[in-house]
Amino acid sequence: MASPEFLDPRLTERRNPRTIAIDTASSLEIVDLLNAEDATVAGAVRGTREAIAQAIDLVVDAFRTGGRLVYVGAGTSGRLGVLDAAECPPTFGTPPGMVVGVVAGGYAALVRSMEGAEDDVNAGAAAMDDQHVTARDVVVGIAASGTTPFVRAALSRAQTLGAKTGLVTCAEPPKVLAETCDVLMVVRVGPEALTGSTRLKAGTATKLVLNTLTTGAMLRLGKAYGNLMVDLVAMSEKLHDRGERIVMEVCGVDRALARSAIDAAGGSVKLAIVMAKRGVDRDQAAQLLAAAGGLVRGVIGDPPPIRG
């Protein structure tokens, strides 16, 4: 028997039988219902682990040849892409143009809803031209339902320009994207607690995937030493403190010496560590790191054990 006409084929638009009475629930019951749904998200992300790893490899290859990672999405999906891109420079010391976020409706859509912008296919295609996408880049579309016209058009244009493309979605993607994207990251989180509200489980899943994608790529590029963020850019008191504590722990020096080493390294925690551990100047430290592919471990060996 055919499905009723009102049923949406997209999984993200289906009704959730576990939350059918959520409108009558107490505050605590609502918290429990939402939390129970959220608890399933990490497992759903794990289900697409191989595709995420494939995407990481594509992004690493792009970065190593001077290319970029360009996120493109609408609504919550677009905002999450812009957020992840914005967090890369302070976390990994990357230039702002290395990871780029494009949201339908432009930056005004970051602070207020512009839902109609997701249907503008011309704008989606034009956004790739505006970003000067080339064959060196990787463009990752983010579309919870898999069908956002802005994203579809952007990916199509990116493919025409020779870029590698990927899609992060929580529903089965259209055939054209399934057949043309280099990698599909389909996170099947199931129906939302509030029908169609993809800022819930789908949004959480998307954030986890994007976290993994950029963190994985940056780790592969040597942006960490063990699990220490040695390429961070100290743009706040918190990050200044973190950088000094990293040098103190790795090099076994006090805070004053750590601060002095970072100053001598021009603010680079990574260079400061190599300078202190190898007894070399800034230029020599840079040469040693370059020879080791940017990996601190390749210059000074394994990081110290965790103490305290």
Q: Which residues are catalytic?
A: 87, 118
Q: Which tokens in the block code for residue 28?
A: 């605590």
Residue whose C-alpha is closest to residue 216's, from 271, 285, 140: 140
DSSP-derived letter for residue 9 is S
Residue whose C-alpha is closest to residue 245's, from 262, 224, 264: 262
H/E element, 63: helix 49-64
Residue whose C-alpha is closest to residue 32's, from 42, 19, 45: 19
Distance CA 33, CA 215 (A): 31
With vertex at residue 216, the alpha carbon angle to CA 202 and CA 37, rounded to the nearest 5 degrees, is 25
List the beta bridge partners of residue 142: 73, 168
With vertex at residue 45, the alpha carbon angle to CA 109 and CA 38, rounded to the nearest 5 degrees, is 75
285: region left, alpha or beta (phi > 0 left; psi from -120 to 50 alpha):
alpha
Residue whose C-alpha is closest to residue 118's, from 160, 157, 76: 76
Residue whose C-alpha is closest to residue 81's, from 216, 172, 233, 206: 206
Q: Which tokens in the block code for residue 242?
A: 């973190």
> Which amino acid appears at position 284 of this protein?
Q
